[in-house]
Amino acid sequence: MSASLKETIKQKARQLGFTLAGVTSSLPPSHYDMFESWLNAGMHGEMNYLTEDRNRGRRADPRKILPECKSILMLGIPYAPASNGQIASYALGDDYHDVLPKKLQTLMDFIEHQVGCPVPNRYYTDTGPVLERELAQRAGLGWIGKNTCLINPTTGSTFFLAEILLGIELEPDLPFRTDHCGTCTRCIDACPTKCILPDRTLDARRCISYLTIELKDDIPEDLRPLMNDWVFGCDICQQVCPWNRFSLTEDTAFQAIIPLPVRTSDLSLSPQEFNRRFKNSPIKRTKRRGYLRNLAVAAGNCGSLADLPILEKALEDTESMVREHAQWAIEQIQKRENEQQASDRHK
């Protein structure tokens, strides 16, 4: 009964767009101590929600989230392959926080219909206190790569993870035990801020995704020049990964709807315009002040004299953080222009 029910659930999950589906037990994650060490080393930066006492304990044992938990259904749904820059590809479409819970509820309704009674459950997609990459590896979805992403040999790493904690017993799938990174270090070598560490963790404080999304204050000046033109997230370690050569997306919700390149003119967005433009996008997470901060850094790294007027206008912004980063960008552009002029004079 458990095996046939599991396959029926997986088939329904695939119909909903979850190309990856596997089951693991409710046993505590074996890598929790490594997670604690990472936190104690301060690698999480200002992501203080990771250190909340209540959630730290819950990450140590799924049954502290759902006492009735007997099985965990791990799911993966692809998004468009890694972009060429500026905005991480996962954020070019609709916000997965809005899209996936509806699919998970539909799947949960289906499971209860198959069982014939209510089933205790909790489901999350990057929102719950679970170490979902380890659980996904345990459920056979892939291995944790050197860039810390979960990698599947047929899907690559460009997919969202989601999980449903279930109060019913399902036969666990075999864990994904092989490591297909081999001697490859492309992700480590390509990371401009060198945030990827040798033990398959990363120093979030140096990660461009953290700097452009999670960090709510000024971006450290020594890291700004390394960010190139990224304004929300970063795909570099996925762009260079050989396993992403054949990644595909099928769900139209995650097809790119934000046109690239993003223009420096976005620095003139009012709060109302920002909210309207990014209403259904993950970009709303960084809020207007963070988005404009990031735009200013990108302009400082890749802009030209043509960008100075709008940067100068940003010096009048109501947000002090936007003003500070706009001033830095102006100085960077002027410095490059002066160096270019000096170089031209010596030719």
> What digits encode the pLDDT tens for the residues 196-206?
999 999 999 99
Indicate the Cα dihedral angle 290, 296, 299, 300, nearest 10°: -120
DSSP bridge pairs for 150: 144
CA distance 304 to 113: 60
Which pair of structure tokens corresponds to residue 222? 């020594």
Which has the closest alpha carbon to 257: 103, 44, 79?
79
Q: Under DSSP, is residue 320 helix (H, G, I), strand (E, B) or coil? A: helix
pLDDT band of 148, cuts 50, 70, 90: very high
Rg for the chain (alpha carbons), in Å? 22
**% residues pLDDT > 70 (the chain):** 97
Q: pTM, whole model, 2 decimals? A: 0.94
Indicate the Cα dihedral angle 5, 7, 8, 10, nearest 10°: 120
Q: Across the chain, how many H-helices and E-strands are there? A: 12, 6
DSSP structure string for 130-196? S-HHHHHHHTTS-EE-TTS-EEBTTTBT-EEEEEEEESS--PPPPP------TT--HHHHH-TT--B
| Contact of 229 with 294, CB cutoff 8 Å | no
pLDDT band of 158, cuts 50, 70, 90: very high
pLDDT band of 1, cuts 50, 70, 90: low
| Contact of 39 with 144, CB cutoff 8 Å | no
CA distance 187 to 201: 12
The confidence score (pLDDT) of residue 82 equals 62
Name 264's Cβ contacts closer than 8 Å, sequence gap at least 6. Answer: 295, 298, 299, 303, 307, 310, 311
pLDDT at residue 149 is higher than 60: yes
Q: Average model confidence (pLDDT) for the chain? A: 94
Q: What is the pLDDT of residues 164-206, one digit of tens each?
A: 999 999 999 999 999 999 999 999 999 999 999 999 999 999 9
pLDDT at residue 129 is higher than 80: yes
Q: What is the pLDDT of residues 77-93, one digit of tens each?
A: 999 876 677 999 999 99
Could you give all domains of the chain from N- to C-terminal order, each with its CATH number? 2-166 (no CATH), 263-332 (1.25.10)
The pLDDT of 298-311, averaged and rounded, is 97
Q: Is 317 part of the annotated catalytic residue set? A: no
CA distance 269 to 175: 48
The pLDDT of 140-150, averaged and rounded, is 97
The confidence score (pLDDT) of residue 200 equals 93
Q: Which of 33, 109, 126, 218 is catalytic?
A: 126
Measured between alpha carbons, how far is residue 42 from residues 185, 234, 248, 337 in Å?
25, 21, 35, 39
**% residues pLDDT > 90 (the chain):** 86
